[in-house]
Structure 1
Amino acid sequence: MNNVVFIVNEHAGNGRGKKIWKKWKEAITFQYTYMITERSGHAIEIARNHAISTDDDLLIVAVGGDGTIHEIIVGITGYNHVHVGVISAGSGNDFGRTFSVFQTVEQLDCYVHSTYASVKMDLALLDTGQHQYEVVNNAGFGFDAKVAYSVNHSKWKKRLNTFGLGKLTYILYLIKELFTFKRFSFTLHKDEEVVTYDDVWFIVVCNQPYFGGGMKISPSSKPDDQLIEMTVVYNLARWKLLFIFGTVFFGKHTKYKEVIQFQAKNYTITMHDEVYGHVDGEFSCITDENHAYSFSVIPKAWNLAKHTEKGV
């Protein structure tokens, strides 16, 4: 099969996307088409246009980070003839910690000359009442979303990236928000249970275990079980939050009484304060006071290209 399209974000990982694509492009021997993304949202357009253009099996390979992958999956959701492959080239690469990705040209070559084996994966959906957001990895509200927003809109990020020190921006804003973040309250409506949580640092709903560049926030999450997990961190002293963040990389935070987790097909929450939100690490919205937000599962929403170990 030669119906292969690469969608490349050259700016992913502070330019890592361009370097990785150059290396792979020189080694690929089969026929393909490639497109370079030019702006936010462009990968959605490219992926959807290619999905619409054919009814034959189509392999779309993302060369980029979690944001690029998110856009491509959003673009092809509902097109059952499309299979999504990934060459990780971002800075966080949380997607690649759970999902199968192509690590060598040999793996990809074997796949292209096979029958396009794939595994159906779920999506989560955040409904704000005004907008619906597809969620590949995770989405939520609170401290982590505010840090991500501050980092992505900081003039220091671009300057430090020039010297390969972009991650320092995240550390700086994490420390800043640790002392300034205003905690919030929300009400969880789950089945017939209604519970209000106060003094909340953040809520995150996960379709897979990782977020924030390797933090194992939701150890039990599986992207194909038609369930989503909610993690709530609340009633926690500021100094202890920093300590718990250190344990998240190993999935050990769940033993603390201030960390609670739920598993279900859907959740409805009422936010009682204005709080920053994110979807797959990107800003989604600022919540309205006493407004309801819902999370649900779209089962078997897209096809993940599943390579064999041959070629490793």
Structure 2
Amino acid sequence: MPGSINRIKKHQVVCIVTKELRRYGQEVSYRIKPVLLLFFALVFSDAVTAGITHVIFVVNRTSNGGTAGKVWDDEIAPLVDKRLTVPGSASQGAAQKIPTYEVAFTTGGDSGTKISSDAYSQWLKRKPGKDDQLLVVAAGGDGTVSDVVQPFVDNERVVFGIFPIGTANELARSLGVFGLVWQQTLDVLLHGDSRRVGAYKVDACLRQDPSIKHTVYAVDEVDIGFLTKASEVKRAHDTGERPSRLLQYTPRSFIYTVAALSYAFEWFSPGLALTFDGQREASDIGLFLAYTGSSSGGFYQLFPAMTPDKARGQSLISTSKKGWKVFFQLSSHLMTGYSNLRWNEFNSVRVDHSEKAKPEVVQVDGELRLQTPADIKWVKEIFTFKVPWKKLNAATNSDQAPLPGQHE
């Protein structure tokens, strides 16, 4: 760890000096500036990649309604090709400090998990140095990020990055990566700071085979109850299983809300029982929400004080079993910040359905693979992500930050 910290500090010096040279370029003679840049490049050469020797980009072409593939091909791939090199190429042989890279495309299911795991195994076969790291970049949405991190809990040799080309990109927003131009995003991936973040460890039964217990780490959200049912309606429509004429003519950004509203007057929860940190807290629950960041859907501020590096998790629950009441409670909370939704800070929570009721679906990072009973635990600082430097992060969160579609 000390070596990694030193490399990051050295790289920050290089970035600051380079930035100042650019800012005061008119005051530095054209003869001196190249000499200074060469000097710092040689002295701090080990900081160029901050320990990263290989990068794998896991691309989900189907993200964001199928537009992510075109964004990758037209805008991002050419930038990556200019900055990195493929294994065994002439440029790699001439410049050992340039990281190698590869690109793999997800095919649905948990293919992203297998891709990242296989890439790690292949990287280890090359016998990297003890301080070398593999950078796994998820090019997609929160679901893609969730897929690639699963095999690497508390593995400090693997660092993660995000190209936010998905729909919501909640984790990217929480980490300050969302809203950058693609060139900036690539700079952050290769030279940005490293930040340890937490996730919700979810132990539950598989829906397809309830006899099998399964563990998933949620990097964005866990929800059970009314909104999960709305997700099922939307998923059935998107896959063509149960297409809806109403949703067919609804703008994509409003499909989830319309699905929730249309289902609100039909849904009635059998009731969920919650046990927070070993103490029975509530029963007859119609909604349970837990997020790693402050927002949902990009602008709904559900948990203003929550960040991915917090020591404890946070949840919102509704004690109403009627779908339309839950919908209006949540709407009031989002629009005014006031509602009778209950807030809990916790280390762990047990979610049970009543004995006579059917199991409730557990949604983890947009996936509907699990069902109750479920044990949910907040585990702090188990993954390492590349994030912007503090000054860049402050600029990203300002009103001047570019929006998706404004990427250069």
Q: Which residues in structure 2 correspond to 1:219-298 (within 5 Å)?
A: 219-235=304-320, 239-249=324-334, 252-253=336-337, 255-257=338-340, 259-272=341-354, 273-274=357-358, 275-287=360-372, 292-298=373-379
Aligned residue among 231, 236, 239 for 1:148: 231
- The answer to whether residue 92 in structure 2 is matched with residue 15 in structure 1 is no
State how far apart, in whole Å, the 2-side matches of 1:113 and 1:138 are: 27
- Counterpart in 1 of 2:38? none
Greater helix fraction, Structure 1 or Structure 2: 2
Counterpart residue type for residue 286 of structure 2: W
Q: Judging changes above 3 Å, is the alpha-carbon distance between structure 1 residues 234 and 61 closer, same or farther for their aligned structure 2 residues?
A: same
Report deviation, 1:35.
1.1
State whether residues 137 and 210 of structure 1, in contact with CA within 8 Å, keep that contact through their aligned partners in structure 2.
no
- Counterpart in 1 of 2:176? 100
Report deviation, 1:70.
0.9
Counterpart residue type for residue 367 of structure 2: E
Report deviation, 1:167.
4.2
User: TM-score of the superposition, structure 2-length normalised?
Assistant: 0.66
Report deviation, 1:157.
6.3
Q: Which residues in structure 2 correspond to 1:120-131 (within 5 Å)?
A: 120-128=196-204, 130-131=213-214
Q: Judging changes above 3 Å, is the alpha-carbon distance between structure 1 residues 161 and 30 closer, same or farther for their aligned structure 2 residues?
A: farther
- The answer to whether residue 119 in structure 2 is matched with residue 70 in structure 1 is no
- Counterpart in 1 of 2:274? 188
Q: Which moved more, 1:4-13 or 1:233-242?
A: 233-242
Counterpart residue type for residue 184 of structure 2: Q
Report deviation, 1:26.
1.9
- Counterpart in 1 of 2:405? none
Secondary structure of residue in 1 paired with 2:155? coil
State whether residues 124 and 297 of structure 1, in contact with CA within 8 Å, keep that contact through their aligned partners in structure 2.
yes
- Counterpart in 2 of 1:36? 105
Report deviation, 1:124.
0.9
State how far apart, in whole Å, the 1-side matches of 2:165 and 2:244 are: 18
Aligned residue among 15, 25, 31 for 2:77: 25
State how far apart, in whole Å, the 1-side matches of 2:184 and 2:112 are: 24
Report deviation, 1:236.
7.1
State whether residues 267 and 322 of structure 2, in contact with CA within 8 Å, keep that contact through their aligned partners in structure 1.
no
Instruction: Quote the RMSD (CA, aligned, Å).
Output: 2.9
State whether residues 269 and 322 of structure 2, in contact with CA within 8 Å, keep that contact through their aligned partners in structure 1.
no
State how far apart, in whole Å, the 2-side matches of 1:162 and 1:176 are: 13
Unaligned runs of 5+ in 1: none
Report deviation, 1:64.
0.5
State how far apart, in whole Å, the 2-side matches of 1:71 and 1:113 are: 21
State whether residues 157 and 169 of structure 1, in contact with CA within 8 Å, keep that contact through their aligned partners in structure 2.
no
Counterpart residue type for residue 68 of structure 2: G
Q: Judging changes above 3 Å, is the alpha-carbon distance between structure 1 residues 97 and 117 closer, same or farther for their aligned structure 2 residues?
A: closer
Q: Which has the larger radius of gyration?
A: 2
- Counterpart in 2 of 1:61? 137
Aligned residue among 189, 207, 216 for 1:133: 216
Q: Judging changes above 3 Å, is the alpha-carbon distance between structure 1 residues 146 and 98 closer, same or farther for their aligned structure 2 residues?
A: same
State how far apart, in whole Å, the 2-side matches of 1:14 and 1:164 are: 14
Counterpart residue type for residue 38 of structure 1: T
State how far apart, in whole Å, the 2-side matches of 1:172 and 1:113 are: 40
Counterpart residue type for residue 195 of structure 1: E
State whether residues 286 and 322 of structure 2, in contact with CA within 8 Å, keep that contact through their aligned partners in structure 1.
no
Q: Judging changes above 3 Å, is the alpha-carbon distance between structure 1 residues 180 and 187 closer, same or farther for their aligned structure 2 residues?
A: same
Secondary structure of residue in 2 paired with 1:118? strand
Secondary structure of residue in 2 paired with 1:78? coil
State whether residues 207 and 227 of structure 1, in contact with CA within 8 Å, keep that contact through their aligned partners in structure 2.
no
- Counterpart in 2 of 1:218? 303
Aligned residue among 272, 287, 302 for 2:383: 302
State whether residues 272 and 286 of structure 2, in contact with CA within 8 Å, keep that contact through their aligned partners in structure 1.
no
State whether residues 263 and 323 of structure 2, in contact with CA within 8 Å, keep that contact through their aligned partners in structure 1.
no
> % of aligned pairs identical?
18
State how far apart, in whole Å, the 1-side matches of 2:256 and 2:250 are: 13
Counterpart residue type for residue 152 of structure 1: R
State how far apart, in whole Å, the 2-side matches of 1:59 and 1:145 are: 33
Q: Which has the higher contact order (CA 8 A, sep 6+)?
A: 1
Q: Judging changes above 3 Å, is the alpha-carbon distance between structure 1 residues 150 and 222 closer, same or farther for their aligned structure 2 residues?
A: same
